[in-house]
Amino acid sequence: MRKKIIQEILDNKSKFISGEELSKKLGISRTAVWKHIKSLREEGYNIESVNKKGYRLIEKPDDLLTYDNIYHNLHTKILGKKIIHFDTIDSTNDYAKKIGNEESEGAVIISEEQTKGRGRLGRNWHSNSYEGIWMSIILKPNIVPYKAPFITLIAGASIVEALNKLGVNAKIKWPNDIILNEKKICGILTELSAEIERINHIVLGIGINVKTMEFSQEICDVATSLYKENYIVSRVDIVRNILLEFESLYLEYINNNSKEKVLDICRRHSAIIGKEIYTIRGEEKELVRCLDINEEGNLIIKRNDGSIKEIISGEISIRGIKGYV
């Protein structure tokens, strides 16, 4: 009911809507309407009320990553129909993994802060309050598990598309990092729970540094944020754009096994194709030239001896020669 009231008031934009009209539309008493308005105000909605005119929204709570802010008029079919929002949590991926089997596909877990944010391989991920987007999406694709790694590429493509549409010239470092001005602004942590024959659920974790201005010493040379690179973009807009872009590319892959658009985006916005990179396996570090991403989504490289090699996502780490992550 709270959500419906917000919807009505948001739909009405800067016009007044009377308590009577709200009460009729929603089938609740005017006292109930008044109580909901009161609790919305307590949450930070600035709602004007004028005698004989009714209610009018002046301002929503500032860019919080709540369901109300994100889902309003978002035209997705499955993504974000449910958004579980936390002020703080240990890790959105860990929470999503716990509820993954019970929750429906497309549920989004999002927190203003993570106290134990994780990156790849169990590394820490700095996730201070309001500074970024720390979210996890629950997916239940009806595909065999070995086709799951491509979903990381879909996520990368969606994030880059979403950011580009907001004027941010981000690039993809295959397979799961997003780069801005040669530093990392976003990591993708895809986690899989599966039987051999079917996927139970996938948790797609996305961490984007938006407003962070200070990074710890270990990562300050390789990490950056949108604000730090002078892109002032709304977190809500980024999330909304990502959900939209991702859903479209994801459904194309799941329903039609179509990878074209994703591969096209990954190639056009690649941070590494055509460049020299290091491939790293354990202690071994090799300088190679990155040629392309093939139809399977695997990386094609050329070694120093001229031989061509295909790298499967996860087999090897790669690092750009300028040292970015």
Q: Which is nearer to its own copies, 26 or 143 (CB)?
A: 143
Question: For 269-307, b where at least 16 C-beta lie within 10 A, e where not — what string?
Answer: bbbbbeeebbbeeeeeeeebbbebbeeebbbebeeeeee
**Phi/psi class of residue 257: alpha, beta or left (left: φ > 0; alpha: ψ in -120 to 50)?**
left
Check residue 315 and report its DSSP letter: S
175 is a site residue for its own copies (CB under 8 A)? yes
114 is a site residue for its own copies (CB under 8 A)? no
- Sole window of 10-18, 28-36, 195-203, 211-219 interacting with its own copies (rule: CB under 8 A): 195-203
- Closest distance of CB 255 from its own copies, Å: 14
Say how many C-beta atoms besides its own lie within 10 A of residue 95's C-beta: 18
Rg for the chain, CA atoms, rounded? 22
Q: What are the residues whose beta carbons fall under 8 Å from the beta carbon of 53, sequence distance 6 or more? A: 16, 18
198 is a site residue for its own copies (CB under 8 A)? yes
- Closest distance of CB 181 from its own copies, Å: 25
3-state DSSP assignment of residue 169: coil
Query: Which residue among 42, 195, 283, 295 contacts its own copies (CB under 8 A)?
Result: 195
Is 289 within any annotated ligand binding site? no
Is 93 within any annotated ligand binding site? yes
- Which 278-297 residues touch its own copies, going by CB under 8 A? none
Q: What are the residues whose beta carbons fall under 8 Å from the beta carbon of 137, sequence distance 6 or more? A: 79, 96, 106, 107, 108, 109, 203, 204, 206, 246
- Sole window of 14-22, 29-37, 64-72, 310-318 interacting with its own copies (rule: CB under 8 A): 310-318
- Sole window of 6-14, 73-81, 139-147, 209-217 interacting with its own copies (rule: CB under 8 A): 139-147
99 is a site residue for its own copies (CB under 8 A)? no
Question: For 148-161, b where at least 16 C-beta lie within 10 A, e where not — what string?
Answer: bbbbbbbbbbbbbb
Check residue 124 and report its DSSP letter: B
197 is a site residue for its own copies (CB under 8 A)? yes
Is 267 within any annotated ligand binding site? no
- Closest distance of CB 315 from its own copies, Å: 6
- Which 144-173 residues touch its own copies, going by CB under 8 A? 144-146, 148-149, 152
Per-residue binding string, its own copies, 50-89, x by CB under 8 A, is ----------------------------------------
Asked if 87 contacts 51 with a C-beta cutoff of 8 angstroms, the reply is no
Asked if 188 contacts 176 with a C-beta cutoff of 8 angstroms, the reply is yes
Please state, in angstroms and rounded to a whole number, the distance separating the CA atoms of residues 118 and 140. 22
Torsion over CA: 121, 122, 124, 127 (sign)? positive
Asked if 156 contacts 175 with a C-beta cutoff of 8 angstroms, the reply is yes
- Closest distance of CB 244 from its own copies, Å: 24
- Closest distance of CB 152 from its own copies, Å: 5
307 is a site residue for its own copies (CB under 8 A)? no
- Sole window of 38-46, 53-61, 193-201, 284-292 interacting with its own copies (rule: CB under 8 A): 193-201
- Sole window of 33-41, 72-80, 166-174, 314-322 interacting with its own copies (rule: CB under 8 A): 314-322
Binding site for its own copies (CB under 8 A): 97, 120-121, 144-146, 148-149, 152, 175-176, 189-198, 200, 312-315, 317
Residues of each annotated binding site:
91-93, 114, 118-120, 184
Show binding-site residues for biotin: 91-93, 114, 118-120, 184
